[in-house]
Amino acid sequence: MQETLITQINKERLPKHIAVIMDGNGRWAKEKGQDRLYGHFHGVESVRSIVEGTAELGISYLTLYAFSTENWDRPVKEVEGLIALLVDSIRKEVPTLNKNNIRLHVIGDLSMLPDFARNELNEALEMTSTNTGLNLILALSYSSRWELTNAVKQIGLDVKAGKIDPENINQDTIQQYLATSEFPDPELMIRTSGEYRISNFLLYQLAYAELYFTNTRWPDFRKEHLYEALIDFQSRERRFGKTGQQIQEEKQLA
Ligand code: IPE
Ligand code: IPE
Ligand code: MG
């Protein structure tokens, strides 16, 4: 199935940036009579598959929502298990990231993390910092409202310090103060597990993203599911507020 699906993807019209809300680990585990952490553990295999699939296609940016600001409110045992799993997986994956020229980035409030986790993360960021292939962005202890609050605060401070003139604030200014300032906006956002919401993820950046929802739970998500999402993405007409006729005319001119 995988082989035939990949041949249906137009390599000329791939998104540069895909963002994924990796959801459904807990339910996947419960359905198997297991502890929620068992689901998170199996979710790591899906991450490997999707990172590999994205890199193989030559896509430049992949953002994975791994842990939200609100996820800190889960039971302590789950939070600790998740952080330990994240740190452990990152440590184990660094050689593979380097082998595949993948650069790791993190967006989120890292001050919330325990020291050992932050240190491990910083080490992994450093060890992959010269890689020039896929940019793998982990959203960790991340939420859009945290990010936007931070951006507004920083802009205010820079106005006060005389570094920027409030009259000159425009959309580019805002972009520069986001945690994602180095990355283009995602064109495709995938959420697994049959939930149809954004859950505080990249609210500003997803303004014109195509949204793709699948019932597949994250631990079951593999490359072929990614291919299905890409084929669906390529069937859509992205109008950016214009009319369909304008878009067709622009296509003919190009
Ligand atoms: C996604 O799976 C992983 C994280 C949020 C860390 P969930 O843990 O949310 O699983 P469900 O949605 O409860 O099934
Ligand atoms: C969103 O999933 C966060 C991550 C996938 C890391 P949640 O499971 O936390 O979202 P809600 O609570 O269902 O909206
Ligand atoms: Mg969930």
Name the burial class of residue 84, with classes exposed (0-12), middle (13-18) and buried (19+) by CB atoms within 10 angstroms of its CB.
Answer: middle
Q: Is 98 in the pocket of ligand 1 (CB under 6 A)?
A: no
**pLDDT tens digit sequence for 149-171:** 999 999 999 999 999 999 999 99
Q: How far is the CA of 201 from the centre of ligand 3 (A)?
A: 13
pLDDT tens-digit series, residues 36-50 = 999 999 999 999 999
pTM over the 0.95 mark: yes
Greatest Cα pair distance in the chain: 59
Query: 26 CB less than 6 Å from ligand 1?
Result: yes
Q: Whats the size of the chain, residue-wise?
A: 254
Residue pLDDT, tens place only, 121-153: 999 999 999 999 999 999 999 999 999 999 999
| Residue owning the nearest CA to atom 3 of ligand 1 | 23
Ligand index nearest the alpha carbon of residue 24: 1
pLDDT in tens, 4-46: 999 999 999 999 999 999 999 999 999 999 999 999 999 999 9
Mean pLDDT of 104-125: 98
Q: Whose CA is nearest to atom 3 of ligand 2?
A: 68
199 lines ligand 1 (CB under 6 A): no
**Residues whose beta carbons lie less than 5 angstroms from ion ligand 3:** 23
Mind telling me the catalytic residues?
23, 71
Q: Determine if ligand 1 sits within 6 Å of the CB of residue 118.
A: no
Which amino acid does the sequence have at 133? G
Query: For residue 174, is pLDDT > 90?
Result: yes
Banded model confidence at residue 236, pLDDT cuts 50, 70, 90? very high
CA of 227: how far to CAs of 3, 50, 127, 195, 233, in Å?
A: 10, 10, 30, 20, 10
Rounded CA-CA distance 104/201 in Å is 19
Question: If 0-12 CB within 10 Å is exposed, 13-18 middle and 19+ buried, where does residue 201 land?
Answer: buried
Share of the chain above pLDDT 90, in %: 98
Confirm or deny that 28 is annotated as ligand binding: yes
Domains of the chain: 14-143+185-238 (3.40.1180.10)
Does ligand 1 lie within 6 Å of residue 24's CB atom?
yes
Report pLDDT digits (tens) over 58-85.
999 999 999 999 999 999 999 999 999 9
Given a cut of 90, is residue 2 above it in pLDDT?
Answer: no
Give backbone dihedrals phi and psi of 115, rounded to 5 degrees, phi first: -50, -45
**Ligand 1, closest atom to CA 29?**
14
Q: Is 9 helix (H, G, I), strand (E, B) or coil?
A: coil
Mutate to test the pocket of ligand 1, among 193, 198, 200, 214 (most ligand atoms within 8 A of CB): 193
Q: In the predicted model, is pLDDT for residue 1 greater than 90?
A: no
